[in-house]
Chains A and B, each alone.
Chain A
Amino acid sequence: MTDAPLDTARPLAKTRLSHTAAFWLAFSAVMALLIIAPLVLPEFWSGFLTEILIWGLLAMSSDLLIGYTGIVSFGHSAFFGLGMYGAAAALLLVSPPNLWLAIMFGLAGAAGAALCVAYFSTRIRDIYFAITTLIFAQIFYVIIFTWTSLTGGENGLIFDQPHFAIPFLVNVPFHTATMHWFVLAVVTASYLILRRITQSPFGMVLQSIRENEARTRAIGYPVERYKIVSVMLSGLFAGLAGALYAVQKEFAAPDFVYFIVSGETVIYNIIGGVGTLVGPIVGAGFYQLMRQFMAQWFGDQFPYLIPLGIVFIAMIIFLPQGLLGFARRWLNR
């Protein structure tokens, strides 16, 4: 290749600077709203917002696979559920219950499941992989549902909420607002980490795999290894969401390992816009709010899935990029 001096003074640097400023401005505005939310919202809605953030984290973890690596998992409930039961194990076995131990146990549980799914991802692809993850999650569901002596079966497990504790510094019980801030901090950190991962050279390889796997291999990348790592990362963040959910709700139940949770995770992604990371959080909020409003207006027995399904189909037809799809390039730069 030529060694001639290159003209490096292209205008890229300037636009990147203003883009960076705009991004962090928008980020700070959203953060400010989310931070003051529990101070102005009624207690129920504040807890509901916290829950949305947790579902958003689950959806965001799955976006790493769907939107960036280009593989669809219908088994994220397995990661979420094992994160949940892992946290439950720590909270039940160790006294006094420890927040950080719960999260670590949750991550370990999800990592175990992710390792199996990661192995599948290198062997089978596309719809076959999606179906295999679905079956895999259902196997976990059946095990958890039937192994009553360990998991409490259908009734699940109930435990005490751990305190927010930093050794030698603080040890205070959570209340609605502090729980919200804690979850917000974890989800925000997860977002920033995932954003950095997707922008890194590693993340570019994932996107290259999404666009053209054979081409990516031909320029020298061991595609299988990248897929394994991306499934592992995705599973860990999904497990983190599960652990947070267990801590917030003080229970673990087999319903959350059921495939409906996996399906909803994919729906959050499609509604919010895959490949944007924040889109899936918005999608989760949109879905959960719609469901909540319908339950409030028409009662608990209202078959909310019918109108939600219609909305979902309409969005696929008229807004196939999702709510935040229009900003994909901007968010990923």
Chain B
Amino acid sequence: MRAEASPGATSSPVGDRGAAPSPLLKTESLAVRFGGLNALSGVNFELDREEVRAVIGPNGAGKSTFFNCLTGVLRPTGGRIIFNGEDITGLRPNLISQKGIARSYQITNILPNATTLENVRIAAQSRRHAWNMVSHHSAFADLNQKAEAALQSVGLLDKADELAANLSHGQQRNLEIGIALATEPQLLCLDEPTAGMSAAETNETKELIRRIAKDLTILIVEHDMEVVMELCDRITVLHYGQVLAEGSPQEIQQNPKVLEVYLKT
């Protein structure tokens, strides 16, 4: 049973990468069933390299379920997830992370009583020195450099020695993204990155996402359509666990089915 996914036009701004023809991420008839409820059914999804994609949909559309499948928190009951040509269906979250998919959490940071730099460094050391028991955790130049680079990309380098708990809400959310970046992902999944933010903070975060999107594939799961309209190359709309529509922001805005189920205006 195939979902009625409309492939959408090919006029996306990221069609010119001939070197890597295969999509970075692909799901094949992905399905998740909770008891009698089909949270996801037959989701076919393709994400190109260096694309910024949003998955949106009304409450209960299956966005979070989809997100949790990609990051290994949920094991799909059917279908496959292919990342970089490799089947990663049902892998544990730590292995998914090692393959190069990072996620940000809405609830913030790892160690509230550690500094911003230390928080990011824990993520950086998951790739090397992780089992070292004899050196001080701050003694590795390569880790410090990676952590500082991640902090710089999220604009928190000047707060490196600040305790994470003392950051503002918006800064903590950016630290979240910094932690994800420090694992050097190929694909960054953001879970409602601007939820609960003030207008000014939202703008800053949008700016930040635009900045890091330059050499990173980003998947944003978002409830709020406004946020993703100007940020994303393409948008996928989920509805009742199926792909309802897919296309550029303009196409989605004009799609009558989307307008009907989602915008309800």
Name A's B-contacting residues (CB within 8 A). 1-4, 6-8, 10-12, 16, 196-197, 199-205, 207-208, 211-212, 214-223, 328-329
Contacts and interface: CB of A to CB of B under 8 A. Distances in A.
Interface in B92-139: 92-94, 97-98, 102-103, 105, 110-114, 118, 121-123, 125-127, 129-138
Contact of A205 (B73, B102, B122, B182): B122
A196 B148 contact: no
Contacts of B150: 1
B236 to A, nearest CB: 22
A211 B130 CA distance: 17
A208 B111 contact: yes
Contact of B126 (A6, A196, A207, A221): A221
A1 B118 contact: no
A4 B211 CA distance: 14
A196 B133 contact: yes
Most chain A Cβ neighbours within 10 Å, of B121, B125, B179: B125
B141 to A, nearest CB: 9
B188 to A, nearest CB: 12
Contacts of A223: 94
B122 A204 contact: yes
Nearest to B179: A219
Contacts of A329: 113
A212 B160 CA distance: 21
Given A7-B157, A200-B132, A201-B132, A218 B125 contact: no
B124 to A, nearest CB: 9
B244 to A, nearest CB: 28
B76 to A, nearest CB: 17
Given A6-B149, A201-B137, A218-B105, A12 B130 contact: no
A-B interface, 7 closest residue pairs, ranked by CB to CB distance from nearest:
A220-B97, A220-B126, A217-B93, A219-B123, A202-B133, A200-B133, A201-B125
B217 interface: no
Interface residues of B, number: 52
Most chain B Cβ neighbours within 10 Å, of A199, A223, A328: A199
A186 B121 CA distance: 33
A216 to B, nearest CB: 7
B162 to A, nearest CB: 11
Most chain A Cβ neighbours within 10 Å, of B103, B122, B131, B181: B122
Interface of B: 71, 73, 92-94, 97-98, 102-103, 105, 110-114, 118, 121-123, 125-127, 129-138, 140, 143-146, 148-150, 152-153, 157, 160-161, 179-184, 215
Most chain A Cβ neighbours within 10 Å, of B93, B123, B144, B179: B93
B240 to A, nearest CB: 27
5 contacts: A201-B132, A202-B130, A217-B94, A219-B126, A222-B92
Contacts of A7: 157
A200 B94 contact: no
Nearest to A207: B111
Contact of A217 (B92, B121, B132, B140): B92
Nearest to A329: B113
Contact of B137 (A6, A11, A199, A221): A199
A211 B123 CA distance: 14
A200 B149 contact: no
Contacts of B98: 220
Contacts of B111: 204, 207-208, 211
A10 B148 CA distance: 11
Nearest to A222: B94
Contacts of A197: 133
A203 B149 contact: no
B151 to A, nearest CB: 9
Given A8-B144, A219-B110, 17 more contacts: A1-B184, A196-B133, A200-B136, A200-B137, A201-B137, A204-B121, A204-B137, A205-B125, A205-B130, A208-B111, A215-B110, A218-B71, A218-B94, A219-B126, A220-B94, A220-B127, A329-B113
A310 B112 CA distance: 32
A197 to B, nearest CB: 5
Contacts of B184: 1
A6 B94 contact: no
B130 A221 contact: yes
A15 to B, nearest CB: 8
A201 B149 contact: no
A328 B113 CA distance: 10
A328 B134 CA distance: 21
A212 B110 contact: yes
B175 to A, nearest CB: 12
A226 B182 CA distance: 20
Nearest to B160: A10
Contacts of B138: 16
Contacts of B121: 204
Contacts of A217: 92-94, 97
B145 A6 contact: yes
Contacts of B123: 219-220
A2 B183 contact: no
A54 B114 CA distance: 31
A246 to B, nearest CB: 28
A218 B70 CA distance: 11
